[in-house]
Structure 1
Amino acid sequence: MVGGSGCHVVDVIVGDKRVVEVDDGNSCRIDSVTCESSFVNDCDDVGGLLRSFYPEPERILLSASWKGIIHSVGQEFEGGVPAFRIALAKYAVECGFVVNYLKNEAIRVTAECMMKSSTGCKWFVHGRVLMNFGVDKARCGLFGDFATSFDQLRWYLETTMRTNPGSVFKLDVDESSGCFRRLFMSFHGCLYGFQFCRPLLFVDGTFLKGRYKGHLLAATSKDGNQGLFPSAFTIVDVENQDNWMWFLSQLLKGVGSGRRLTFVSDRQHGLLDALSVVFSNAHHAYCLNHLKRNLIDKLMGLRTNYKLSLMKILVKCAYAPTVASFQHYMKKLRHIAGNGRVDSVLDGLQNDKWANAFFRGKQYGEMSSNAAKSYNNWIGGARELPITCIVDMIRVQIMIQLSNRRAESKRWTTKLCSVMEKKLVDSLELAKSWDVIVASDTVLEVHSSISFYVDTGRQTCSCHEWQLNGFSCCHVVYALRSSSKDVYDFIDHFFHVDCFRESYKESVYLVPSSERFDFNGASSSIIKPPITKKQPRRNKKKMIPSRGENVKQIKCGRCLKYGNHNKKPCKTAI
């Protein structure tokens, strides 16, 4: 605080002494005052005896928050370079290291940590004041160590199961070595809500970026408002048939076999065989976007416009509702491509896996696995953290999403979810000038530019959109409205507000971290980090140096070895 006449007073608590320093510009005076620290005063400060059971210190200095003042790559400081200098000074004081400014200009600052450590902390600030520093060291300080995080899974799973009964969790540990192998998690709120979502699951995998790397496999559905609904996820060392088989087996325990499901995927390695074994009664659709990329790879060297025209024909083949229309566009595609360019891509595919005309399941118009890709982006920030932090961050995101959408649905006054209600209104607006001829109680004919045959008894339309998408097309909507029938009775219940609210009825509950210190696991053994293997693909090497040329060696932040690579491309087994 600032005293009178420009005097600066600094009040610091050191142990049981209160040190007061007064600086009036000419001289400094330090007074020492003994602090009373009786039991009664402590209770008054914290509000009772409960604080004595907390793992945190009884008193927290005001500078404790400085430890998180610099927290991530890409952090921005609104005050510019001066604000960054202040933040860096506070961070250095709290963490206990010396900072050396290599470049200290008005718009550009470079500073490095003088602490002797393997992380090689360094800060760079340019233009908008972005910073980059010892990321691993900072993450370990904020989220804990990568290695010990695996052993914390026992406490986390036991606590989460107690607060979220009915969930399906499975931790697989190698009995001989005590090392982590894989983890499956599906919360009760997700399993309950999936019963009221369409029987459609998007499965995909993404790689993790932490010290021990690994992969995260996930199954995602969609709610009645076309929003992502996470169902289950697992963390494994590598994406192969064995791990896919294990993931799908655990998923089957959670979702059950009561409904015939449809899976949409990118045909990942090992997934095709595992899916046919575990969910033998399910349908499997291939992602159309993935097929398009495969075809583009076969058309290397051709003009961009030419490849785009072929992609449009491929899309028409996939969306073609009848076998005759499919064969028409397929013949056109092969003719334009010529020289058998597409044969190697399409001949190896089963038509009932990617074309509407042959697909026997219910795909609800979902022709790609973009939902799974969106899920990977949704949890993108967690992929760099220790494993316990990964699963907890995903839990928090699911908990927030379920809560927000539950609150959002309370404001709806329509029978359908907001997105589907708008689609219904747009269909009526499009068809307001059409004519309808009633042939019978269930058969109607709709005349627009051409005529369409609608059978409400069999729930079919000659445009095939009703059958493929599971939602009434514009011809059906207008025909039902003209015949004084309730349109909502002919729309799948998954799109109704009541079903949407039921899917978000259950919650994902908190996991109090304070209980970690009271955990007494049944096993005294410690779960060790996984034994990583050398990853496939050859290592990237620099060109052979000339004689006398000095090649700078850097220390990898993952394997801690000196070489010409960093932790991002590191494939060394640790």
Structure 2
Amino acid sequence: MSSGKILAICQSDGEFVTDPDGSMSYCGGEAHAIDIDSEMTFNDLATELSTMFNCNADAFSIKYFLPRNKRTLITISNDKDLRRMVNFHTGSDTTDIYVLKKAESRAIRSDVTDSGTSTDANTDSQAIVEDVKRQRICNGWDSMITGVGQVFSSPKAFRDALHKYAIANSFMYRFLKNDGSRVTAICTVEDCPWRIHASRSSVKQEFIIKKINDAHTCGKELSKESRRLASQRWVASIIKDKLRDTPNYKPKEIVNDLQREYGLSVNYSQAWRGKFIAKKELHNSQEEACNQLSWFCERIIETNPGSVATLHTSDDPRFCFFVGFHALLYGFEHGCRPLLFLDALSLKANKEWKILAATAVDGENDIYPVAFSVVDSETNENWHWFLVQLKSAFTLSRCITFISSSQNGLEEELPKVFEESFYGCSEEHLIENFKGEMDNSWSQEMKDKMIDNLKRAIYACKVDEFNESIENIRIQSKELANWVMGMKPELWSNAFFKGLRYGHYSSGASDKFNDWVSARYEPSVLQIVDTLRCKLMEMMYSRRNSSNSWTMALVPSVNQKLQEEMIKARILNVVCSTESVFEVSDESTNIVNIETRECTCRRWQVTGLPCVHALAVLERIGGCIYDYCSKYFLTECYRLAYSLSINPIPDVGAPICSDALHIPSACPLRTRRMAGRPKEKPEEPRIAIKRAVRCSKCQGAGHNKQTCKAQI
């Protein structure tokens, strides 16, 4: 279920049975299923249940069990109780709710009281309260590891998930293998069979769980050794948010909070070191980054006139940095189609920051970065700020089509800034979500077939072509077809999309930016920005040089494509109607209007290039193909995109010392060495001077007396 919403099975008129282990189960009665979300009130739930079971809301009470606790019933009596229940069970497939007559409820409490002493009842009550607190704090951690096939972005992401999973499930583990390509862990208790192994896949290089035995025979009880789970960096990551709000957070308080909230025993030294690391990450790195970027903004504007470089700071150390180089902004406005892809990128080299990027495509369909921003997280507020800066950087007013993922709030934020723009969903995002809807019961061959049908629906230019693809999906699964139709085809299918994508559906910005920024060392924010600047500067130069040798009016890839299409067009039958309207027949009959540049197949309008029917007409009347292509595919327009250069910025690698910036002897390009042995030798290895070998027998050089061949 999605976050904040659960599927509740409501049961009534049955009875509870106590099992041998002390847990309770509910037998008999009537059951109904309803959806409950965090917005539902207690009165709404009571009204729904009274209607469902035909009883007075005042005559019954509503109860449920906590996850993994079938011994104690928890009562829902107000809105806060209901929200807690939803939070406790978010992520569960189903949740059981019991509607009990108030007499039955009192009887259950009486039986429990009679079966034990008051001291035991108080102890159990306290344990339940502590368990509730722990479940609330560690909510979702127990499902961080789901099983074989689960994918993680990196070995570090897997280790972090495993760490939280162990804390939530109260057991200790140790690594048998732990490196960049594989991780194997086992339970520390001898003879406990729990074991997990994850490694990189050979195809996509993703980090995947390959084997797992999730059965514990050790009782899963944390002991004093639990302090080993609380590493310094883990403690820092847990207390960072609280430390931001409470700078005087004491190590003793950290020890008590970790014991109470997570059940972990740590000593004062661990808490102190964790606080030190968190404080350093919060203040030193952020403040240093702000100071460096403030200096860098001035240098960008000074060396590249017309560029936009903005640093936005707040009361806390958080900041947003935006840069758009004049050469790229000019090239996009004069040489690239009005199409922008908006992506939030997480760099492999430094996952502390997010890159918000606006990228276009040139005439050769290569990625063309226009502007980017460095932020601490992807939020609607940061996206809105980025879009405002992007709009202010443009000098020309034109209608732009934006393509992005529909999960980052851009569908709501874009119209607030770019009023006349069009918004669409990327092909890659849609296909990934579609794959997630198909479970393991589907064969790989059938999955590929369904994905092909979805792609045909995306590329379909006419409604009947789209409907045919959807029907092919519906034949195999009505649920999948309904899911596809529910994903708003007007945002991604050519048959309904109002904007112009010119046949381009995904950006590929994530791979490009990660290729540019090396993951060997963890770079600072300034290093990331300056590395991207250097790569963009080199990109502009190399593509401008390569285009100088082109002799055709169209860019090479488009020219080759049209030549191949022309071979097919020559066999089509063309019938003239007027000077501008023609009838072209192949498997079907299409009407071409060369004056309005339209064809009833709609491919000319969608791609900006003459379709095969239009090419047949142009061949018939002897028209020039280049005059009927969108200008963005012309060599002249391509050269305009790369006509300007990004100028170098001197002294970026030199130490900065500025009283105004309060950075005493700070070096912008300081790096933190990554774990592991360096794979490359030093650039200037130490030269060893060897003493010449001289033979003691013949006094000759280059050998010794053992290998001497002289006759004495």
Is 2:372 the partner of 1:233? yes
Q: Classify the secondary structure of the residue corresponding to 1:381.
A: coil
Q: Deviations over 1:347-379 (max 9, x none)?
A: 542221011111111111123x24334433443
Instruction: Give the match's secondary structure for 1:513.
Output: coil
- Match of 1:227, as an amino acid? D
Q: 1:352 and 2:479 equivalent? A: no
Alpha carbons of 1:347 and 1:414: their partners in 2 closer, same or farther (altered >3 Å)? closer
Match of 2:513 in 1: 376
1:520 Cα offset (Å): 5.2
Give 1:334's aligned residue.
474
Q: Secondary structure at the match of 1:169?
A: strand
Shift of 1:155: 2.1
Superposed CA offset, 1:300-338 (max 9, x none)? 122222222222222222222222332333234234213
User: 1:199 aligns to what?
Assistant: 338
Letter in 1 for 2:301: M
The residue aligned with 1:223 is 362
Match of residue 321 from structure 2: 183
Partner of 1:462: 600
- Tell me the CA shift for residue 387 of structure 1: 0.8
2:462: which partner in 1? 322
Going from structure 1 to structure 2, the CA distance change for 1:146 and 1:212 (only over 3 Å counts) comes to farther
Cα separation, 2, equivalents of 1:484 and 1:375: 42
Deviation at 1:266, TM superposition (A): 2.0
Q: 1:308 aligns with which of 435, 448, 452?
A: 448
Shift in Å, 1:429: 2.4
Q: Which runs of 5+ in 1 are unaligned?
A: 1-144, 529-555, 561-574
Instruction: Find the partner of 1:475 among 601, 609, 613.
Output: 613
Rg larger in structure: 2
1:365 equivalent in alignment to 2:500: no
SS at match of 2:372: strand
Tell me, yes or no, if structure 1 residue 418 matches structure 2 residue 556.
Answer: yes
Per-residue Cα deviation, 1:479-528 (whole angstroms, up to 9, x for no partner) = 113202222111111111111111111110000017966875755589x9
Query: Structure 2 CA distance, aligned partners of 1:272 and 1:521?
Result: 44
Taking the aligned partners of 1:410 and 1:507, their CA distance within structure 2 comes to 15
Contact 2:536/2:646 (<8 A) preserved: yes
CA contact (8 A) 2:426 2:492 kept: yes
- Structure 2 unpaired stretches of 5+: 1-283, 667-671, 676-712
Counterpart mapping for 1:264-283 below 5 A? 264-283=403-422
Farther-moved stretch of structure 1 (482-491 vs 327-336):
327-336
Contact 2:336 2:362 in 1 (8 A): yes
Whether the aligned pair in 2 keeps the contact of 1:446 and 1:453 (CA below 8 Å) is: yes
In structure 2, give the amino acid aligned to 1:285: G
| CA-to-aligned-CA distance 1:56-110 (integer Å, 9 cap, x gap) | xxxxxxxxxxxxxxxxxxxxxxxxxxxxxxxxxxxxxxxxxxxxxxxxxxxxxxx
Q: Give the match for residue 488 of structure 1.
A: 626
Structure 2 CA distance for partners of 1:304 and 1:430, relative to 1, 3 Å: same
Q: What is the TM-score of this pair, normalised by structure 1? A: 0.62
Residue pair 1:242, 1:270 contacting (<8 A) in 2 also: no
3-state DSSP of counterpart to 1:426 = helix
What is the match of residue 429 of structure 1? 567
Alignment root-mean-square deviation, CA: 3.0
Decide whether aligned partners of structure 1 residues 515 and 298 sit closer, same or farther in structure 2, where only a CA change above 3 A counts. Answer: closer
Query: Which residue of 370, 388, 394 maps to 1:249?
Result: 388
Give how far 1:346 is off: 2.9
SS in 2 for 1:202: strand
The answer on whether the counterparts of 1:186 and 1:232 sit within 8 Å (CA) in structure 2 is: yes
The one of 287, 298, 320 equivalent to 2:426 is 287
How many angstroms does 1:226 deviate by? 1.4
SS in 1 for 2:518: helix
Q: Percent of aligned positions with the same letter in both sequences?
A: 30
Task: For CA contacts below 8 A with separation 6 or more, give which structure has more relative contact order.
Answer: 1
Equivalent residues of 1:150, 1:387 under 8 A apart: no
Partners of 1:362 and 1:322 in 2: how far apart? 15
Contact 1:155 1:519 in 2 (8 A): no
Instruction: Please give the per-residue CA displacement for 1:8-44, whole angstroms capped at 9, x wherever unaligned.
Output: xxxxxxxxxxxxxxxxxxxxxxxxxxxxxxxxxxxxx
Is the Cα contact below 8 Å between 2:356 and 2:372 reproduced in 1? yes
Distance in 2 (alpha carbons) for counterparts of 1:257 and 1:331: 43
Task: Tell me, in whole angstroms, the C-alpha distance in 2 between the residues paired with 1:446 and 1:222.
Answer: 32
